[in-house]
Structure 1
Amino acid sequence: MSRKLIWLVLLLSMFVISGCTERAKDLEQVSANKRIVIRFSHVVAESTPKGLAAKRFAYLVHQRTGGRVEVQVYPNSTLYKDGEEFKALTENNVQMIAPATAKLTDIFPQWQIFDLPFLFENYAEVHNAMDGEVGQKLFDVLEEKNVKGLAMWDNGFKQMSANQPLHTVEDFRGLSFRIMPSKMLARQFQRLGANVKELPFSEVYRALQWGEVNGAENPLSNFYTKKFHQVQSDVTISNHGYLGYAVMTNKTFWNSLPEDIRKIIKDTLEEVTMWERKEAQRQNQQFLTRLENTKDITIHHLTQQEKLQWKAALYPLRQEFTPEIGEELLESIIRE
């Protein structure tokens, strides 16, 4: 046999073997009996607490199910933007999302409770609400849209940023701020004398850079990882509001999973949730330290007097939104 013929046979053999391998992979991927694919979409960077927790969850589930479940994580709005992911979940185009609670408020007004300014003083109060009666009641209302709540993750307490100091309520007058779609957040800034513009999170940097808005509110992990400090000169450490995430799945999809798989997912989520909450606090403290050592940005901590002024301006929102949130739900948090 000539050398040319030998090489031809070898090349054809490699092609056939490669083709068979690829087809085998494809068959394994589409076989419901062998592999369950969960597409997990979110809108923030992979390095944020939520981004890291999603990756950790995917790794652990894959490991604990022996590869039977593959969680595919899509960060940074690569699949869906803020206003698109909930609809995608209800249509089962993705199987898991973890939106900020504010993004649920148009459909479920009860979830506005997490947007009330100065409602929580610390993380312990937040977690008591999330993990207790309040959280369960909020999860129950999701089922109206064929959605099942699985866990509550932290981002952290929100801080204000702009290109000028924000110390007193008067400093907000005439400025414009980016917000998530939320009637509560719109009213918050209106009571401070500011204007608002609803924007997907993926568009915030550009809007700040080009002056479409003057400022925003974010936990420091979002502020730093999205490099907002490059387009904002001042940050006020106000802790005026809390930003958390509701980890949820399509209820029909969830009910279709084998019981043993549901248990592994649930147990893993409980473990990852505890890890994520610690990571959120660690990152927010780490990025505060970094920002304090950055020459191009000024950090201001609200004085007690300034905080009382902000609270006085925003406190009427509780009475205004109680009919939508529900008096019983709000009283549950205040009691806790």
Structure 2
Amino acid sequence: MKRRLLLLLVAMALLVLTACGGEDEKEKVAVNKENADKGYVLRLVHSHPQASMHHKYVEWFNEEVQKRSNGRLKIETYSDGQLMPSDQEIPAMLQGQADMVHSSSAIAGSFDPIWHFFDLPFLFNYDPNDNDVYLDNKKAFIDSENGGRKIAGLMEAKGVKVLSMSSTDMYGTIWTGDEKRVITSPESAKGLKIRVPGGPIASETLKLVGASGTSIPGPELPTALQQGVVDGMVIVPLYVYDSKLPIKTQSLYPLISYVMPVMISMDKFNSLPKDLQEILVETGRDLEEYADKLVREKGKDVFEKLENDYGVKTYYPTDEEIEDWKDATKGMYDSYAKTEPRAVEFIEEAERIKEEMK
């Protein structure tokens, strides 16, 4: 009798546990279904005009994310610096005023100076007559686990997830607003007031050739040129063409190698379901490939289009002039490495890749 009673009690306990387990499983399924059906909207800010390649990349990114998530994830974009100035975008993201930013390495350098690495002159191999030489070299560095991927990884400890390190353009060169003021030798730049996108590296580089750099927001550039506030600027060609800036000459010396990272705060990233996290990471890498292909296509005839449509003359330097510029600006590497010791390993990696790809 006692044995029968014991077996009955055990059976009843098992039934209770099974029922509880079943309820737990039902709750889990319900929660998972709720997450699967829930929609998420991420607010992205950037300071670039809607006509620029930068904005087109964000539109592509949003379309892809919506498609891959079956509409569960959407990116709401605020362009033209309408919510905040460009130098406040990353801090605002970390404070929760925005979820994502499409920034530039020059601006991101105010958040972490390691981004100023991309402002170093002649950072990658280049050929004035073949844009692919530069783009191949730059892409190899960004793809390198000891190069671009490591720089991106450093940001996670600071609360930022870098989804993409895409290039929206080619290298930044010196442009002037006077067709008679063509920059050839380093001496020809002496006394010029040049607009730079921000950060100390570009300004210090210009000082090495006797010019001066000043930071002016993008929307103010046309007026600054027309009123003679600056004589020219360090900027990239596709942006100049899309923005129709009043510039007359360009000299092909690669003084800056911008990257345009797409970032999301780690808090926001970690709050998303795992499958949406994976979609963001995957789409970010695909954006790099999409951007690289688009820059190559548009870059093939951009100098010709600048001349035909806007009268901009492009100066192609000789090998001797290129070496003169390298010699005149090489001191910037030691100067930057002293203020940012972490940059040493990235400079070495860039040099290794340059040698490997010669």
Query: When the two structures are superposed, what TM-score results if normalisation uses the length of structure 1?
Result: 0.85
CA–CA distance in 1 between the matches of 2:264 and 2:72? 18
Is the Cα–Cα contact under 8 Å of residues 197 and 234 in structure 2 kept in the other structure? no
SS at match of 1:177: strand
1:177 pairs with 184, 191, 194, which one? Answer: 194
The question of 1:307 aligning with 2:322 is answered yes
Q: CA RMSD in A?
A: 2.0
Distance 1:284 1:46, change over 3 A: farther
The question of 1:113 aligning with 2:117 is answered yes
Is the Cα–Cα contact under 8 Å of residues 151 and 269 in structure 1 kept in the other structure? yes
Is the Cα–Cα contact under 8 Å of residues 178 and 196 in structure 1 kept in the other structure? yes
CA–CA distance in 2 between the matches of 1:318 and 1:137? 19
| Cα shift readout 1:172-208 (whole Å, capped 9, x = no counterpart) | 1111111122111110111111112112222222212
The question of 1:232 aligning with 2:247 is answered yes
2:174 pairs with 134, 154, 160, which one? Answer: 160
Distance 1:210 1:299, change over 3 A: same
Partner in structure 2 of residue 255 of structure 1 = 270
Residue 294 of structure 1 and its aligned partner are, at CA, apart by 4.1
Amino acid at match of 2:312: I
| Cα shift readout 1:74-116 (whole Å, capped 9, x = no counterpart) | 2222223221211111112111112111212233222222111
| Cα shift readout 1:9-57 (whole Å, capped 9, x = no counterpart) | xxxxxxxxxxxxxxxxxxxxxx997321111212223343322111011
Q: Structure 1 stretch 254-263 or stretch 59-68: which is displaced more?
A: 59-68
Is the Cα–Cα contact under 8 Å of residues 108 and 141 in structure 1 kept in the other structure? no
Residue 261 of structure 1 and its aligned partner are, at CA, apart by 0.8
| Cα shift readout 1:235-269 (whole Å, capped 9, x = no counterpart) | 11223331211111111000000001111222222
CA–CA distance in 2 between the matches of 1:72 and 1:302? 43
Structure 1 residue ranges without an equivalent (≥5): 1-30
Is the Cα–Cα contact under 8 Å of residues 62 and 69 in structure 1 kept in the other structure? yes
SS at match of 1:238: strand
2:307 pairs with 271, 274, 292, which one? Answer: 292
SS at match of 1:293: helix
SS at match of 1:264: helix
Partner in structure 2 of residue 216 of structure 1 = 233
Distance 1:280 1:295, change over 3 A: closer
1:36 pairs with 35, 40, 43, which one? Answer: 40
Is the Cα–Cα contact under 8 Å of residues 160 and 237 in structure 1 kept in the other structure? yes
The question of 1:140 aligning with 2:153 is answered yes
Structure 1 segments, 4+ long, off by >6 Å, are none
Is the Cα–Cα contact under 8 Å of residues 50 and 153 in structure 1 kept in the other structure? no
Partner in structure 1 of residue 25 of structure 2 = none
- Larger C-alpha radius of gyration, 1 or 2? 2
Amino acid at match of 1:118: F
CA–CA distance in 2 between the matches of 1:32 and 1:145? 30
SS at match of 2:44: strand
Distance 1:295 1:142, change over 3 A: closer
Is the Cα–Cα contact under 8 Å of residues 174 and 195 in structure 1 kept in the other structure? yes
CA–CA distance in 2 between the matches of 1:330 and 1:68? 41
Distance 1:97 1:295, change over 3 A: closer
Q: Structure 1 stretch 213-222 or stretch 199-208: which is displaced more?
A: 199-208
SS at match of 2:261: strand
SS at match of 1:107: coil
CA–CA distance in 2 between the matches of 1:62 and 1:288? 35
CA–CA distance in 1 between the matches of 2:310 and 2:142? 38
CA–CA distance in 1 between the matches of 2:49 and 2:189? 29
Query: When the two structures are superposed, what TM-score results if normalisation uses the length of structure 2?
Result: 0.80
SS at match of 1:80: coil
Task: Within 5 Å, give how 1:260-271 maps onto structure 2.
Answer: 260-271=275-286
Partner in structure 2 of residue 125 of structure 1 = 137
Amino acid at match of 1:138: I
Distance 1:81 1:295, change over 3 A: closer
Is the Cα–Cα contact under 8 Å of residues 90 and 145 in structure 1 kept in the other structure? no
Distance 1:123 1:295, change over 3 A: closer
CA–CA distance in 2 between the matches of 1:288 and 1:242? 18
Residue 314 of structure 1 and its aligned partner are, at CA, apart by 0.5
